[in-house]
Amino acid sequence: MSAVVAGTKAKLQNLLPGRIGSNNAFSDSYVEELIMAGFHEAAEACSLVVGTESVALANDTLVYDLAEPFIEITQVEWFDGSNRKGHLTCATLSDLDKMSRKWWDSTGAESEFYSLLSAPGIPETSTDAADGSRILVWRPVTDATDLSLRVTGFVCGTTTTPISEDVQRMCIVPYVLSHLNAVANPNMAAGYLAQFESGCDIVRGRFSHRYDEPTYGV
Amino acid sequence: METWQDIKDFFWPAVQDSETSQIFFNSTQALAWANGALWEMGQHAQYTDLIQEQNTANGQRVYTIGSSGSAPYGVWRVEIDGEAIRATTEADVTNLGQNWETRSQIPRFYYLDGFIGGTGDLAKIALYPEPNGIYELRTYCYGVPEQVSDSADTDKLQVPQWAIYGVLWYMLAEAFMAETRRQNLETSAYYRGLYDKLLDRLQMRTASRLPKDWVFGEGGQEFTRNFWSNLPDTIPEP
C-alpha cells in the first residue's frame, strides 16, 4: 500500500521510462492530475475510501452544511460529547410529512431522522444560485450543548491517501495510460479504458462480497 | 481539482494550446464549454437543491422563483407555513368553475404550467386558492449550478467533487470536435463517452443518495384532492 499519486506515478514511470517529467512528453502535474481523475473514478465505482465529518449541532437548527467531499453517505450518528448516543434513520421529506404535518417548525430533545439536500460532495459557493450539500436533521434539538453528528460515508480521498498496490495497477494505471493515448491513438485509449473497467469490477467484487457465509444479527 | 483555474490548468495543455497564446481555441470557447457542461450536468442529474423562502401577499396568485439567469430547472416541493401543499395543473384549477379566480383562502395547491409565452420565463409558481393574507411560501427546486467565470477562477465548481472531471471531459469532447487543426473526431468521441458515463453515474448517485430500504407507512386512507379542496378555512368549536 502506498500514497495514491506517488505509488501510481512510480508504476507509470516504469512503463513509460523517460517520458514523464520536465522536458518530457508528459509533465508531472499533467500525469498527477490524471492519476487523481482515475482515483476519483475508481473510488466512486468501487467505494474505496471511507471518511467521516463531525458536525456540531446548534440550538433549534434544522439544516447543516456538509463540507467533506462525500460520494455517498452510509451512516449518521449523534454524540453527546464523546459518548455515542445512537444513529439517525434516513427519511425523505415526504416521510417527515407523515410523521408531523408541520415538521419544519417542530423541535425536541433528541434528533431521530436525517435527510440530504443536494447530492453529497458539492461545495458551498459565494452566491445562492444553488446550494451546496446539506444535511437536514429532524427534530432539531432545543439544547445542543455538547451535541454533534458524525457523518460517515465513502469519500474521494486525497493525493496521499494510501491505496493497495493492485488497485493502483489494475485500475488507475490503465486509466492514466488511456488518457495519455487519447489523442495519438484513440483505439488504444479505448482498450486501456476497458482494462480500467475490468479492474474496477474485480476490486468492487472484493469490497462488496466480504463474507463467505451469511451474517447474523447480534 | 476543485476550481475553474484547476480545470484551465489541465485543459490548455491537453489540447496542446496555452491560455496566453490561444492558437487553436480562446477563453470564450473554454468558458462556454465549461458552463455548458455545468448546465447539462445540473439539468440531467438534478444534483443541487435550492430552497427559496418568501411571503405571500394578499390577493397575489403568481410568484417568481429564482432570479434572472439562474431560474431553477424545476420545482419538487412547495410548503405554505411549513406544511406541504399539493401539485395540480392549471386545467384542473380552471375546470373548478367560473368562480375559481375569486376563491381566496390558505393555498393548498400549486401549479407550474400556464406561464409559457409572454416573457418566456418559466420560473414562476401559482397558488390555489389565492392567498388571503401573508403566509410563508417555501419552494424546493432543482437549482442551476453556479456558472464559472475568469474573474472568479479560484471559486470552487458547484459539482460533487468526484464528478468535477466531467466538466473537463465535456470541454475536451467539444474542443476536439471543433473545426480547427486540432480536430480529432475519434478523440472527441472518447471524451464524450467518458462524460456520458460519468453523467449517468452522477444521476444514479443523486437519485439514490439516501441509503433507504424502507418506507414510512401512513394510517388510514390517503386524502383525495376533493377532500383538500373542500376543507373550510377554520373548523369551529362544536
Question: Residue A100 has what pLDDT?
Answer: 83
Which residues in chain A touch residue B184, judged by CB atoms under 8 angstroms apart? 183, 186
Is A128 found in the same domain as A73?
yes
Q: Do A156 and B187 touch (CB under 8 A)?
A: no
The verdict on residue A33 lying in a domain is: yes
Question: Residue A129 has what pLDDT?
Answer: 53
Residue B118 has pLDDT above 50, yes or no: no
Report which of A64, A31, A49, A2 is spatially closest to residue A176, judged by C-alpha positions. Answer: A31
Report which of A197, A189, A183, A178 is spatially closest to residue A46, judged by C-alpha positions. Answer: A197
Is A104 found in the same domain as A180?
no
Is A57 found in the same domain as A146?
yes
Helix (H, G, I), strand (E, B) or coil at A77: strand
The verdict on residue A10 lying in a domain is: yes
Q: Please tell me the total count of domains within chain A.
A: 2
Interface of B with A in 201-230 (CB under 8 A): 201-202, 205-206, 209-212, 215-218
Over residues A5-25, the pLDDT tens digits come to: 999 999 999 999 999 988 888
Among A208-217, B72-81, B102-111, B121-130, which stretch is predicted with the lowest mean pLDDT?
A208-217
Is A35 found in the same domain as A8?
yes
Is A151 found in the same domain as A89?
yes
Residue A213 has pLDDT above 90, yes or no: no
To probe the interface with A, which of B39, B137, B161, B206 has the most A CB atoms within 10 Å? B161
Which residues in chain A touch residue B42, judged by CB atoms under 8 angstroms apart? 130
Extended beta strands in chain A, E state: 2-3, 49-56, 63-65, 70-80, 83-87, 89-90, 113-117, 134-138, 147-155, 162-163
Q: Give the distance from residue A80's alpha carbon to the nearest chain B alpha carbon, in angstroms.
A: 24
In the listed set A112, A137, A155, which residue is the last one of a domain according to the structure? A155
Q: Which three cell numbers stand for residue A110?
A: 433528541
Q: Which residues of B109-120 are buried (b: 16+ CB within 10 A; e: fewer)?
A: bbbbeebeeeee
Higher pLDDT residue, B121 or A127? A127
Q: Do A103 and B144 touch (CB under 8 A)?
A: no
- For residue B117, name the pLDDT band (cuts at 50, 70, 90): very low
Q: Do B191 and A182 touch (CB under 8 A)?
A: yes
DSSP 8-class letter at A171 = I
Give A152's strand partners.
Answer: A52, A75
| Alpha carbons A188 and B176: distance in angstroms, whole number | 17
Point out the residue among A94, A99, A130 whose CB comes nearest to the CB of B145. Answer: A130
Which residues in chain A touch residue B47, judged by CB atoms under 8 angstroms apart? 118-119, 122
- For residue B208, name the pLDDT band (cuts at 50, 70, 90): confident
A162: phi > 0 → left, psi -120 to 50 → alpha, else beta; which? beta
Give A116's strand partners.
Answer: A135
Identify the domain containing residue A118 by its residue range.
50-155
The verdict on residue A77 lying in a domain is: yes
Q: Which three cell numbers stand for residue A175?
A: 486509466
Residue B44 has pLDDT above 70, yes or no: yes
Question: Residue A185 has what pLDDT?
Answer: 93
pLDDT (mean) for A27-44: 95
pLDDT (mean) for A70-86: 93
Is A141 found in the same domain as A56?
yes
Q: Does B190 touch chain A (CB under 8 A)?
A: yes
* Mean of all residue pLDDT scores within chain B: 85
DSSP 8-class letter at A179 = H
Over residues B213-234, the pLDDT tens digits come to: 666 665 555 555 555 566 666 7
Contact pairs from chain A to chain B, CB under 8 Å: 157
Is A123 found in the same domain as A86?
yes
Q: Do B50 and A131 touch (CB under 8 A)?
A: yes
Is A149 found in the same domain as A55?
yes
Domain coordinates in residue numbering, chain B: 4-45+146-207, 49-142
Question: Residue B213 has what pLDDT?
Answer: 66
Is A54 found in the same domain as A136?
yes
Question: Residue B18 has what pLDDT?
Answer: 87
